[in-house]
């Protein structure tokens, strides 16, 4: 029987990759991802994880080596953050377009300049369109569970795509939380061995990564789009089965105290935890406020979003990244687009906050909600506001 114990989230994420029986780990150290890969290197060194650990010379090579390993049929894991994710940017597109399943945890961190090792979602938003399945988690348990689910989702023959698990740098990676690590035998039952349909194999030669002329490129991209859209139903299926076996439910958008809520706040990642406390406080004060936690970022859960906001008057979206010179928060922008055609939709108010590791306290979330309600009533001169900025 699996037991709950206090574990550093990074260590637990490494353990999840071990429980998933990863064959290859290829990684380059970057704060705040380091504890994940250090732990994996240790597990390999001690023989607890039977895997090849490739200590590559850059993140570009980390992702490239992951592709090579996945192409020969190895279950592959890596982790990175911020500049590292950006350095592997072009390789990310290749991993998804060439249909190589693997799991990568991103310890979300702000992008330079100025250099900041602290958390926000700039790195995640910069890789939004790379064709990966992307899941945001809000605590250590979710990180562990979704690493295991990630392999199962990505390796499903209907999917065959890489999966990115976003967990906030420091706020999640470096904290000790009560976490239940599943038993190995249960994981083995849940996660069948990886069988890539056509790996690189001299017994059955294949050509991978051929030149795509204009007559075929569009069709390849269309195929990729259809495939990623379909990955949603597989993701739901896998989460349901995970729930049956392990008793923990996951959904694309989780609702917290949304019954009868006229105002909804939407957050991603670890901020959802503080936001829940803020919602409790506001509910206690008699305010009809609820929380939406967006977990499945790609493929984007359009139906689920439309369903959960239909009775609200105001939807306040908190982004942790800026689309400069554009609509402000990329998440808010997408949500506006997703709801534009709806006959009945809430006013959508965008905030950007928590950049470069700046905390938002419980009182801060309350302030954001109050200001959002005020803007919904009176309007604002700006497309979005940055919470707490000193102008």
Partner 1 sequence: MMATAVHGPGVITELEPFAPGHRACSGCGEALAVRLAAKAIGNNAIIVNATGCMEVVASPFPYTSWRIPWIHTLFENAAAVASGAEAGLKALEKKGKRPERNIKVVALAGDGGTSDIGLQALSGALERGHDFVYICLDNEAYMNTGIQRSSATPYGASTTTSPAGKESLGQVTWKKNLPAIAVAHDIPYVATACPSYHRDLMRKVTKAVETPGPAYIHILSVCPTGWRCATDDAIKVGRLAVRTGIFPLYEVTNGQYKMSLSLTKLEPVENYLKTQGRFRHLTEDTIKEIQERVTREYNKLVELAGKPGGETSSE
Report the interface residues with partner 1, using CB under 8 A: 23-24, 26, 50-52, 54-58, 60-62, 64-74, 76, 90-91, 94, 98, 193, 200-202, 204-213, 216
CB of 321 to partner 1, least distance (A): 26
Cα distance between residue 357 and residue 153, in whole Å: 31
CB of 325 to partner 1, least distance (A): 30
Taking the least distance from each CB to partner 1, the nearer of 91 and 369 is 91
User: Which residues, other chains included, contact 25 with Cβ-Cβ below 8 Å and sequence gap of 6+?
Assistant: 17, 37, 40, 41, 44, 49, 51, 52, 53, 54, 76, 77, 78
CB of 293 to partner 1, least distance (A): 35
CB of 61 to partner 1, least distance (A): 4
Residue 359: phi and psi, rounded to 5, are -70, 150
Taking the least distance from each CB to partner 1, the nearer of 73 and 356 is 73
Q: Quick one: which of 146, 124, 172, 120 has its CA closest to 353?
A: 120
Taking the least distance from each CB to partner 1, the nearer of 98 and 277 is 98
CB of 160 to partner 1, least distance (A): 16
Taking the least distance from each CB to partner 1, the nearer of 41 and 386 is 41
Residue 250: phi and psi, rounded to 5, are -130, 145
For 101, other C-beta atoms within 10 Å of its C-beta total 25
Taking the least distance from each CB to partner 1, the nearer of 220 and 389 is 220
CB of 57 to partner 1, least distance (A): 3
Residue 188: phi and psi, rounded to 5, are -60, -40
Taking the least distance from each CB to partner 1, the nearer of 6 and 209 is 209
Cα distance between residue 319 and residue 360, in whole Å: 12
Q: Quick one: which of 361, 359, 345, 358 has its CA closest to 312?
A: 345
């Amino acid at each position: 029987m699996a037991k709950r114990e206090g574990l550093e989230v990074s260590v637990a994420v490494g353990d999840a990759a071990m429980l998933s029986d990863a064959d290859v780990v290829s990684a380059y150290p970057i704060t705040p991802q380091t504890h994940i890969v250090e732990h994996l290197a240790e597990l390999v060194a001690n023989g607890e994880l039977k895997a090849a650990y490739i200590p590559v010379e850059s993140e570009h090579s980390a992702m490239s080596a992951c592709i090579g390993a996945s192409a020969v049929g190895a279950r592959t894991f890596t982790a990175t953050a911020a500049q590292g994710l950006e350095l592997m940017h072009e390789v990310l597109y290749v991993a998804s377009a060439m249909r190589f399943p693997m799991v990568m945890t991103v310890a979300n961190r702000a992008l330079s300049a100025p250099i900041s090792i602290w958390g926000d979602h700039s790195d995640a938003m910069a890789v939004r369109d790379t064709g990966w399945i992307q899941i945001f988690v809000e605590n250590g348990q979710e990180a562990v569970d979704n690493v295991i689910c990630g392999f199962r989702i990505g390796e499903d023959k209907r999917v065959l795509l890489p999966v990115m698990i976003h967990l906030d740098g420091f706020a999640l990676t470096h904290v000790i939380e009560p976490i239940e690590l599943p038993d190995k035998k249960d994981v083995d039952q849940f996660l069948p061995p990886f069988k890539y349909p056509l790996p690189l194999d001299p017994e059955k030669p294949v050509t991978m990564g051929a030149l795509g002329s204009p007559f075929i490129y569009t069709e390849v991209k269309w195929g990729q789009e259809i495939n990623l859209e379909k990955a949603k139903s597989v993701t739901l299926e896998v989460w349901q089965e995970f729930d049956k076996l392990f008793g923990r439910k996951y959904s694309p958008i989780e609702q917290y105290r949304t019954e009868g809520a006229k105002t909804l706040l939407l957050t991603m990642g670890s901020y959802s935890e503080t936001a829940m406390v803020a919602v409790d406080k506001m509910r206690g004060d008699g305010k009809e406020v609820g929380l939406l936690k967006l977990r499945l970022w790609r493929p984007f859960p359009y139906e689920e979003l439309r369903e959960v906001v239909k009775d609200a008057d105001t939807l306040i979206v908190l982004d942790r990244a800026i689309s400069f010179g554009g609509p402000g928060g990329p998440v808010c922008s997408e949500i506006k687009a997703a709801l534009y055609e709806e006959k009945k939709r809430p006013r959508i108010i965008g905030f950007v906050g928590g950049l470069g590791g700046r905390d938002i306290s419980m009182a801060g979330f309350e302030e954001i909600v109050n200001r959002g309600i005020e803007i919904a009533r009176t309007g604002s001169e700006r497309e979005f506001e940055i919470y707490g900025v000193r102008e």
